[in-house]
Structure 1
Amino acid sequence: MVLEGTLVNGATIIVGTLIGLCFRRIPDQMKDTVMKVLGLAVILLGIQMGLEGNDFLIVIFSLVIGSVLGEWWRLDLKLQSIGEWLQVKMKSEKETPVAEGFVTATLIFVIGAMAILGPLDSGIRQDHTVLYTKSMIDGFTSIILGSTLGIGVLFSFIPVVVYQGSIALLANVINQLVSEELMAVFIANLTATGGILIMAIGLSVMGLSQIRIANLLPSIIVVVLLTVGQSMWPF
């Protein structure tokens, strides 16, 4: 089954978040320490990802153009309204916005080489090993995120399944259209761009920055277009 690995990944995020929610009633001082440690870990992950880029100019242009588009489209406000709607429906705690957990978890789970290579292996070779490995990592991560950021983390399984499932279903087409060399460059640039977004998340989790991270999301689409554009018309 082509989508087996993706569905397992989504299920581990749900289960991990539900387990994490069981640990929500920890003392505020302990929660604050855990949040700061989580922020440091996320920043380190972002730095490691950011150093994998092949073309820093593409990464910079992607972030600048993407942030302009995000501010223009007001993605942050739209996502916040969705989060508030979910919060009302689920009667979630007011001190932890659903949108914060959703955006944070989505970026951590979706951005990275495994989120691309895994579905490609699933679609082309019916090999789900990479996604099974990613599922274990995401499962443990969702426990930590769920215990600190709340129910919003659970909803991140939706973009994960849609994103990875789409790649898996289109894997054969992608394999025919995209050369191995271009795919390597694409993954490197996407990972580097995503790493900077994840660093912004880490700073936000630690309370050191108030970056509207949702408004940076178009950078992910822009980096794909610029990478493809550079392969066709070198600049």
Structure 2
Amino acid sequence: MPIGIITSVGAILFGGIVGAISGKLMSERLKTGLNMVFSICSITMGIYAIAPLKNLAAVTFAVIIGTSIGIIFHLGDAINRGARGMQRFISKFIKGPSELEEKAFEDTLVTVIVLFCASGTGIYGTLTEGINGDATILISKSILDFFAAIIFGANLGAVVSLIAVPQLIILTLIFLLAHVVVPLTTPTMIFDFKAAGGVLMLASGFRITHIKMFPTADMIPIMAVIMPISWLWTNWVVPLIN
């Protein structure tokens, strides 16, 4: 198993456990404060990822088309069901949230799943490791993920550690496909891909503190359509415009 993926998955697994344990010792004020801090960090990282984009129109089209695909195929509903299943499993061993908190709990858990499993940096880092064995990006991201998992674990409990399972499956599949995908990309496509991931991080940051409940789960297909759209825009549309 690639070292970068092991590190990334381990960061979520153990960070979630540490957060669940330490959360009992934290005041509600501290938990709320840390949650808000991570929200602004997510927004900041989203802005940073979007800044170097090459084709604003391509990213915009990808956001619209990708989100439409997610909504049409009810991807958000499927991920919500998965989140509820994870909570039911963990509640057999550890007490879950109260009924009054259930909706907010599920909304936050879905946001966390998207952040950890559909991050542009995580996917790009996995592709990089798959093509040349360089795990630097994933290891660097794992440091942030570890502390993020602690923050969310303190608020949501040990269920956060279970996100390591779908993350492992997704990153492993991307790793195996790296030799097929990476040779087909260009630097412009990579910049636009990272920007699309930045849009997801922005939406997640707003959603974490309930500023605006963007359908982040339905937005995941953005990451699948951005590269083809970026290529089409660069090679077909831009020559026509010029």
TM-score, structure 1 normalization: 0.83
Which stretch has the larger CA shift, 104-113 or 202-211?
A: 104-113
1:145 aligns with 2:149: no
How many angstroms does 1:211 deviate by?
A: 1.8
Alignment partner, residue 186 of structure 1 = 189
| C-alpha distance in structure 1 between counterparts of 2:117 and 2:177, whole Å | 20
1:11 aligns with 2:10: yes
* CA distance 1:226–1:135, shift in 2 (3 Å): same
One-letter amino acid of the counterpart of residue 233, structure 1:
W
One-letter amino acid of the counterpart of residue 97, structure 2:
E
Structure 1: stretches of 5+ with no match in the other structure: none
How many angstroms does 1:110 deviate by?
A: 4.0
* CA distance 1:170–1:143, shift in 2 (3 Å): same
Equivalent of residue 115 in structure 2, options 99, 103, 107: 107
Alignment partner, residue 93 of structure 1 = 97
SS of residue paired to 1:48: helix
Which portions of structure 1, spanning 4 or more consecutive aligned residues, are displaced by more than 6 angstroms? none
Equivalent of residue 165 in structure 2, options 145, 158, 164: 158
Structure 2: stretches of 5+ with no match in the other structure: none
* CA distance 1:120–1:219, shift in 2 (3 Å): closer
Encode CA deviations 1:7-45: one digit per residue, 9 max, x unaligned: 222112201111111122332233222222221121111
One-letter amino acid of the counterpart of residue 31, structure 1:
K
How many angstroms does 1:64 deviate by?
A: 0.8
| C-alpha distance in structure 2 between counterparts of 1:79 and 1:173, whole Å | 27
| C-alpha distance in structure 2 between counterparts of 1:132 and 1:90, whole Å | 27
One-letter amino acid of the counterpart of residue 178, structure 1:
L
Q: Quick one: percent identity of the two aligned structures?
A: 24
TM-score, structure 2 normalization: 0.81
Which stretch has the larger CA shift, 141-150 or 208-217?
A: 141-150
How many angstroms does 1:171 deviate by?
A: 3.5
- Contact 2:130-2:176 within 8 A present in 1 as well: yes
One-letter amino acid of the counterpart of residue 34, structure 1:
L
Alignment partner, residue 58 of structure 2 = 58
Alignment partner, residue 20 of structure 2 = 21
| C-alpha distance in structure 2 between counterparts of 1:123 and 1:210, whole Å | 34
- Contact 2:38-2:148 within 8 A present in 1 as well: no
Q: How many residues align?
A: 229
How many angstroms does 1:59 deviate by?
A: 0.9
| C-alpha distance in structure 1 between counterparts of 2:64 and 2:18, whole Å | 38
* RMSD of aligned alpha carbons: 2.5
One-letter amino acid of the counterpart of residue 16, structure 1:
G
* CA distance 1:48–1:109, shift in 2 (3 Å): farther
- Contact 2:63-2:219 within 8 A present in 1 as well: yes
- Contact 1:186-1:224 within 8 A present in 2 as well: yes
